[in-house]
Structure 1
């Protein structure tokens, strides 16, 4: 077995490269705790109470004590793993599978894979990790960006820009960076209640850097975005000889792949109230599709997990 030395680990560089190495790095919960300690305090332990840098005393049951103010706590307190009764080895294995499976894993698949006691445990683990997939400090899209909406879920055939209350469909706003001469950059996805000017303008301002060129269809919902510092490239579809999937190729490609992913990996069973979490996961995967190191994706997910506040099953279910 390979013993982890916190002093020798380098942030963003040291992580297992394959499953065999994963098992060597994390044979038990203690090894997982050491790794989380390194991720949470890469420059040394900083007491959550007195905020002083020090070398903590390591007590029993994974507790740590600040030598200055005598504060006692755990590495997992205030993180995604707080108060979880699931062993950290299972949490780490789940993170490894989530980042190493190209199309992700379903809750049922994770339950079977790890031998978890209940579907609820697997479902909660996945949703907690999905919350860690959004970096609050991530940069906005820039350059040439396509924006459009699509419908996700349901079996009704509503085609209006604002489905009625009985509609089972959800509207998802999509923004895609377009690279020249070809190719796609990053994406952003968000569920909106209706494709109105207010909501689409808000989505554009949240996700796109001012000064960018925003390419849209001819909808009046995108009027006046120039007032917020964007240049609009409007493509009127009505009467055009070119179909929408050829003029707005980026958003249509992403919409198609998103729906295929939901139907394939999750059998289409994504509730309206939890759709945002699945959109976060899909964007996380798409934006890292070119990564040559699955181990680095595992590292980044855990790195975000230790700065993501804890959330209970009840709160996730209410979302």
Structure 2
């Protein structure tokens, strides 16, 4: 059960600092116990028959349902399934990832954990980025700006053929001033169909959508939304002033990708980076890094396993 942040307490529900983190998660059993409480806060529920009971405990950290006799484990069916990396190292990676304001690279995780393989660190980070997005999250609402931007492209004279990727951006505006949550999505092209699907997926009906004058947004009024249209062509007012939200997000996203990952992002993995940026932006006002650690770990135990092949081909 996803607890409200207001009901969670630093030092009780999650570590409040690094010293406490080290004290809490000193061995694999401590990590498994914490995952168990996160996954089954009201007691074990068999993933197979959904019966609520106390399981048998078997060797090698296996759990056996007393009803259907199916064996499972606290990591089965989660982002940690079949991992060869100790949970202590996973926890350290999650703490480090959520405590770094601008993100971390796979090389940084490799050095931090002392991993022998860069690929292992790379896969860990991508799995955690995948877990950052809750598919059941609430849609955006109120006044929402929507636009498209380009990510990637030429960053030096030796990369003349580097392709730009199209990213759709939606951001809530908080009146009279301020920004709310965002949603990002990579698409092959900024077409009418792609934009309509994006809007339907991420914005609540009856919201007011602010767009530019592009024809790809022409059907918004017929989709259960009201549209505020601003035509930039020929206007004396810069686009970043009339639609400040989407332009701010696009600018910060590009700067973040360039600064943290040197712009070295491929199309197949861009979705993972967009997930991470969305997670960070939407929690930018969080005063507790420990709470971010808790939230990502909580989502990790409800996220289905992701194989290395899945990461390469997502």
C-alpha distance in structure 2 between counterparts of 1:224 and 1:154, whole Å: 30
Aligned partner of 2:83 in structure 1 is 84
Aligned partner of 1:195 in structure 2 is 190
Question: CA offset at residue 53 of structure 1?
Answer: 1.4
* 1:157-176 → structure 2 map (5 Å cutoff): 168-176=163-171
Counterpart contact for 1:217–1:235, Cα < 8 Å: yes
Deviations 1:261-304 (A, max 9, x none): 10011111110111111101100100000011111111111111
1:300 partnered with 2:299:
no
TM-score norm. by structure 2 comes to 0.93
Counterpart contact for 1:11–1:39, Cα < 8 Å: no
Aligned partner of 1:119 in structure 2 is 118
C-alpha distance in structure 1 between counterparts of 2:310 and 2:68, whole Å: 33
Question: CA offset at residue 11 of structure 1?
Answer: 7.9
Aligned partner of 1:287 in structure 2 is 282
Q: What secondary structure sits across from 1:151 in the alignment?
A: strand
Structure 2, unaligned runs of 5 or more: 1-5, 156-160
Question: CA offset at residue 65 of structure 1?
Answer: 2.1
User: Which deviates more from structure 2 when the two are superposed, residues 244-253 or residues 55-64?
Assistant: 55-64
TM-score norm. by structure 1 comes to 0.91
Aligned partner of 1:4 in structure 2 is none
Question: CA offset at residue 67 of structure 1?
Answer: 3.0
Aligned partner of 2:92 in structure 1 is 93
Matched length: 302
* 1:42-191 → structure 2 map (5 Å cutoff): 42-155=41-154, 168-191=163-186
Q: What secondary structure sits across from 2:36 in the alignment?
A: helix
Counterpart contact for 2:152–2:162, Cα < 8 Å: no
Question: CA offset at residue 62 of structure 1?
Answer: 1.4
C-alpha distance in structure 2 between counterparts of 1:121 and 1:92, whole Å: 15
Counterpart contact for 2:206–2:225, Cα < 8 Å: yes
C-alpha distance in structure 2 between counterparts of 1:171 and 1:314, whole Å: 24
* 1:215-254 → structure 2 map (5 Å cutoff): 215-254=210-249
Counterpart contact for 1:170–1:272, Cα < 8 Å: yes
Q: What secondary structure sits across from 2:145 in the alignment?
A: strand
Counterpart contact for 1:177–1:184, Cα < 8 Å: yes
C-alpha distance in structure 2 between counterparts of 1:68 and 1:193, whole Å: 48
Deviations 1:14-39 (A, max 9, x none): 11111011001100111000011111
2:254 to 259, 262, 265: 259
Aligned partner of 1:206 in structure 2 is 201
Structure 1, unaligned runs of 5 or more: 1-9, 157-165
Counterpart contact for 2:169–2:182, Cα < 8 Å: yes
